[in-house]
Each structure stands twice: as structure tokens, then as C-alpha cells.
Amino acid sequence: MVMLVGMNTPAMDAIPTPTERYGRQIWPGKPTPLGSTFDGSGTNFALFSEVADKVELCLIDKEGNEDRIEMSEVTAHVWHIYLPNVTPGQRYGYRVYGPYEPENGLRCDPSKLLVDPYARAFDGEFDGDASLYSYDIHAEEPGTGRNEEDSLGHTMLSVVINPFFDWRSDHRPHIPDNEKVIYETHVKGMTMTHPDVPEELRGTYAGMAHPAVIDYFKELGVTTVELMPVHQFLQDDRLRNLGLRNYWGYNTFGFFAPHHDYAFAKKPGEVVSEFKAMVRAFHEAGIEVILDVVYNHTAEGNHMGPTIAFRGIDNGAYYRLVEGDEAHYMDYTGTGNSLNVRHPHSLQLIMDSLRYWVTEMRVDGFRFDLAATLARELDDVDKLATFFDLVQQDPIVSQVKLIAEPWDIGHDGYQVGNFPPIWSEWNGKYRDTVRDFWRGEPATLGEFASRLTGSSDLYADNDRRPTASINFITAHDGFTLRDLVSYNDKHNEANGEDNRDGESFNRSWNCGEEGPTDNDEIRKLRRRQVRNFLTTLLLSQGTPMLSHGDEFGRTQNGNNNVYCQDNELSWMDWSMLKEEKSAAMLGFTKRVLAIRNHHPVFRRKRFLAGGPLGADVKERDIAWLVPSGRLMTQDDWDHDFGRALMVYLNGNAITETTSRGERITDDSFIMIFNSHDGEIEFTLPTKDLGATWRLMVDTADSGGYPAEETLIEAEGTITVQPRSTLILRQVEPPVFDS
């Protein structure tokens, strides 16, 4: 052992050592990556703020005591520090010193302990205390005055996590687009009442990963589970005061952290591992996980909101402010603020978050809430907006599933069909058209046909496929499928807004009475309508999306806006499956999904070549026929009151191939739709389209399909009941006259 002489001389003692600052070793650290990063022996902290004069890292112990450490290193507006021996589980926040001039868009406030925008986990709750606000919430003039009370003890805390996880042999399912069946659900709502999930796991990521839940998805025929927001969000004071809770979660402030209320794990750092274990379990079952993400705004709201993160870190960088009135925020979506996607650090936050969820959490894609907002450069959706450019060229994000919600309240309104080629979109026009068709609205036949065949009018022009159309009839926002056929009007009184919230025009039809009824005929009609909707949805070209519980008749009692109903009203009611009718509806859904999954003719990779008259190609892939069995003419399409049609799909005219270049052949099918209020006699087409047909689905039947085998020959007739759908499969091939 070599002894170094003179190390403790008085001269050396006079030089400050690292241990003399704050009683701990402090290293300069690195500006990247942003957030807190544990490397096995210590943690690097990095925070962007261009406007700050000083930044303090605040370490919080289990008793809530604070240890403030000034971050003296700054590189390209990123404040950074490395602390040896700071390990996972450490709670922390930041205090940012700088100008507080709201009129100039500057809102630094060191009295507020701020959460880390890049934190991977959080602990605690925001309790709504006045100290969370930089203004005086009790002032007579709203938004005025100052509150410089310390928010420590009233705010959430960021947590250092352990990034290491055993993924075992995990690999992405990579479901081909044309085989994808999406199921939109909610982590908590899906499992809260599930009888086979242990009580302590209900409502959690661990509950979602339970074999009973995964087996349910597999038996149903689902390939892709789309989770409503799981990014960390906060509970709104307004809802809390009403005794309600934010259920949907479109109120994000932690874009890198799984929401901790959905975790069985009690330690914050373990929440991340629990989420990863859920993803791993889904992948083992061959099921993809897509996240519904909210990057268009944050939970801080408008100028009257709390100072919890972005506002106090660098207000003008993170938020789009009103030009000439920087005290206020641009609000494109009615949520109070909009992220400033024109600023490089705001864009970086979004892209870093997306990459993190793909690389570290291993999710398979994203559905972007109000995606049009992210694209706003000025006043319209710009296909070449910076955000889309970044996504397009990003080697990680561009390779996963990207789904846009096109809804937008700009002057051009709904933007379906206007997103770049690598994106698919929630097709709101599909929803509206199918709803109108089945409630018997006139002049819907042509558009119904377009929606049935993948909406080529919306997606074909920029080289997209039918799979770009995410077909849906219901989603979290609006009526359930059962309520769609049971209510003409919304019934949102439970939300505490005097029924003013939610959409008033739902294209719904109650079948004769509003709400629950003892009338057996109306109840039968409602179940038939649900079967019509399910059959149409699951056998349309494009990508079908089911909303959770629609497969067996979940109801919200007419509430079409359950964003604040974190209770039995919005959760899945698994006890319904004890009822014969609900169990039968689930069986019917499985049957129709099995038809789709087994027959490639219903999930074509390319748009059908046959035009509206079905005669544009030699080997016709589709034919449109009137009830008498003849091909439709232009006059038939233009008929104002057309509510019935027959569609022939040729299984021998599939032009695309398998992944190995092999030709795909399938059975041929006839689909018959009658949305009229009276029965119609249909004549099957001539034998050159098929000699004999077997009836597979009849929505007029109480079970959705005939109990006994029904065979019909070419040019034979069949009486189609009012408001019903028939699916027939060819069992004897076409016969051509020599």
C-alpha cells in the first residue's frame, strides 16, 4: 500500500472539497439526458430553463424535509448536476428563480416547488392548497395579487427510478395492419369489477396483466389494446369539490411517468416496473399495447391555473402565448393552454417522451388526442408542420403505430383524411355515416358504401391503405353502443353541469322509448341494432376499433361524457355476463370477429379496384346490387330513399399476396343490409357470382345467426327482416355459361 504524504496539510485544507458543499459530494454532471438518470451509483439531474437566473435542486426526505442544492452548471440553457449515492426512490423537485412578470409571459416563482417535466415517477398528491397558485386565489379580482407561500407539502414530488428491468425474451408482436383489431379500454375501468382478478389487483397495471384479462382479449379476437391516458395526470380541484374525479386522464403533466394511481405497487419507483411487466405480459400473448397520449396541452390550465411545472420553469418556451397579450394562453382545444410546438425544447419534450415510451416502456404505438393541435403553425393543419417532419424522420417513432384523432376546432373544422401517409386516423365520418344509415336517414347509401370499403375518398389520394381508416361507431367520448340505441338525448346530470356538457347531436335513436323499457319489442329491436352495428363495424374494410364493454352491452345510463365518473357508471360491469342476453351478445361478437380474422376478403391490404358500379375490372372484386339482384346503376346510387343494398366480395380476386409472395384466395361473400323499417325480399345474384350460398349471420335472429343450416341457390330469394344484416358465404363456385 502506498502512502501519500502531506494530503492533510493546512494549505490543502483551505481549499474547499466537494464534500463541503451542502455536506455531500457534488459533481457538475451532464446536460443530457434531461430529467433524473440513475446510473448504478448516483443520479444526474438536468433541467431546461432559458429564463432562469438560478435553479435549486430540492431533495425531499421521507419526513418531508427539504435539502436545497444550487445547480451552478449551465450548458445551452440546461441546468445540471450529478449527485453520487442518490439512488432510486429519492423524492425531489426544483425551485426556479427568475422574473415574475405575467404581463410579459414570465412566471418564475421560487416559492413553488416544481415537479420535473422529465420525471419517470411521482409521489403524493396536489391537494388544491392556495400555495399552489402564484396569484391570490382569494383576491376580489380573479388572477390578481401574489401568493408566495411555499407549496412544499401540497404538491406532488418527482421520484428517481431504477431504469433496469428484466424484459426476458420480450419482442413486439408486429401485428400486420390489415389483421389489427383495436380494443379501446381503461386500465382502471377494465378490471375494477372483474371477478377473476384478485381484489387487490383490480384497477391496476398488474390487474390488466392478469391471465383472466389477457385470455378475454385473446378469446374475443383482439390484437391491439389501446389504453386511455396513463401518463401522470392530476385531479382537478373543481371535480374534487363536486365529489367527482378525473377518470379519462386527459390532463397530463408527467409525459414520462405512468399514472401512479393505477399501480398496485406502493413505492413510486416500482410503478414503472409494474407497467413494464404489463407490457411484457401482453407481448407474450401476442397482443400490442397502444397508448392514448395528450401532447397538445398540460394540466396547468390557463392563466388561472396552478404553478406546478412548465409555467414556473419557462412559461414562454413551453406554452403558446397570445401575441401582444402574453399574460394569456392560446387555447385551441378548450383545455386552457397549448404546448408551444414552435419552440425546440417543447418539441424535444414531445419527441423525447415518445421515444422513451417506445424504447424503455416498449409500447407499440400511440393514439394522439386532438392531433391537429400539434400541427398548428398558424391557423390550419399543415401537413408539413414541424412536428410531423420530426415524426417522419425519427428512426424510432416513425416505426410504431401512429393514430391521429383528427378533431379540431379551427376554422376548417374536422380534418379527417389530412394527415401524412404514415399515420392512420380515427375515422369520424365512418362513425357518423354508419349511425345515420342504421337509424334510417335518407341519402346515406353512397357514403355508407364508401365507408364500408375503407373510405378511399379520404385516404387513397396520398398513397394510404384502407387500414389507415380506424373505423369506430363508439368510443370513450360519447354513448356506449347500448346507449346509442336506447337514448335520443344525453343524460349527463351526474356530472354536475346541469346536462350542459357533452355532445347534444349524437345521431342516436332510442327505437321508440327513451332509456330503459319493459317493452319486449323495443328491447328486441335494440339488440338487433347493436348486432347490425357490430357486424358492419367488424366486417368493413379498414381497421375496426371496439369500445370496451360494447361487446356485451355496457351502459352509462345515457351519460355521453363520463370524463369525471370514476365509478361503476363508467367501469366495466362484468356481472352482466351472468345475464343470458349479454352473454349471447358477447358470443355473437366473437363469432363475427372470427369471420373477419379467418377471411382475408374482409381485411384487404389495398382498396378494392371495382368502382361504385362494380364493373371497373375484368375479374370483379366487388359488385353492388339492388334487392332484385341486378347490378346497381348510377340512378340507384342517387336514390334519395335508398336504405338497402347487397354487396358481393370476390375471394378469388384478391390481388395482394402473403409475406412470402404467395397468392391469397378466400371464399366469396354476400353482405345484405336493410335499414328500412319494413321487410324486403332480396334475390341473390346470378350463378356467375356463385352457385350456392350458406347463411352465416342474420342479425334478425335472436342469436345473430340461424340455428339450422340455410342454403340458397343463385337467383334464389330470401326475405330480409326490417333493420337487419345478412352475411352469406359461397359454398359452390360460380358457373359460367359457355
| Catalytic residue IDs | 369, 405
Closest CA to 225 of 262, 182, 256, 180: 182
Q: Is-contact 188 571, C-beta < 8 A?
A: yes
What are the start-end ranges of the H helices in 255-343?
268-284, 310-318
SS3 category, 412: coil
Query: What sign does the dihedral 412-413-417-419 (CA atoms) show?
Result: positive
Burial bucket for residue 143 (CB in 10 Å: 0-12, 13-18, 19+):
middle
Q: Is-contact 272 347, C-beta < 8 A?
A: no
Q: What is the C-alpha to C-alpha distance for residues 524 and 526, in angstroms, rounded to an integer? A: 5
Closest CA to 338 of 382, 391, 380, 294: 294
- The amino acid that residue 346 corresponds to is S
DSSP E strand boundaries for 49-156: 54-60, 66-70, 73-75, 78-84, 91-97, 100-101, 106-107, 121-123
Q: What is the C-alpha to C-alpha distance for residues 512 and 519, in angstroms, rounded to an integer? A: 10
End-to-end CA distance of the chain: 103
The DSSP secondary structure of 174-227, one letter per residue, reads: ---GGG--EEEE-HHHHHTT-TTS-GGGTTSHHHHTSHHHHHHHHHHT--EEEE
Closest CA to 372 of 338, 327, 328, 323: 338
Q: What is the C-alpha to C-alpha distance for residues 263 and 201, in angstroms, rounded to an integer? A: 8
The vertex-35 CA angle with 32 and 39, nearest 5°, equals 70
The DSSP secondary structure of 447-474, one letter per residue, reads: HHHHHHTT-HHHHGGGT--GGGEEE-S-
Q: Is-contact 337 331, C-beta < 8 A?
A: yes
Read off φ and ψ for residue 666, nearest 5 degrees. Answer: -150, 170
Neighbouring residues of 198: CB distance < 8 A, sequence distance ≥ 6: 207, 210
Neighbouring residues of 297: CB distance < 8 A, sequence distance ≥ 6: 331, 333, 335, 336, 337, 338, 339, 373
Strands 622-625 and 469-471 turn out to be unpaired
Cell of 473: 361507431
* C-alpha distances out from residue 494 to 173, 416, 503, Å: 41, 32, 15
* DSSP assignment letter at 685: P
Cell of 469: 381508416
What's the Rg (C-alpha) of the chain? 29
* DSSP assignment letter at 357: H
- With cell 334487392, the residue in question is 627
Closest CA to 161 of 92, 81, 61: 92
CA 632 from centre of chain: 39
Q: What is the C-alpha to C-alpha distance for residues 43 and 35, in angstroms, rounded to an integer? A: 10
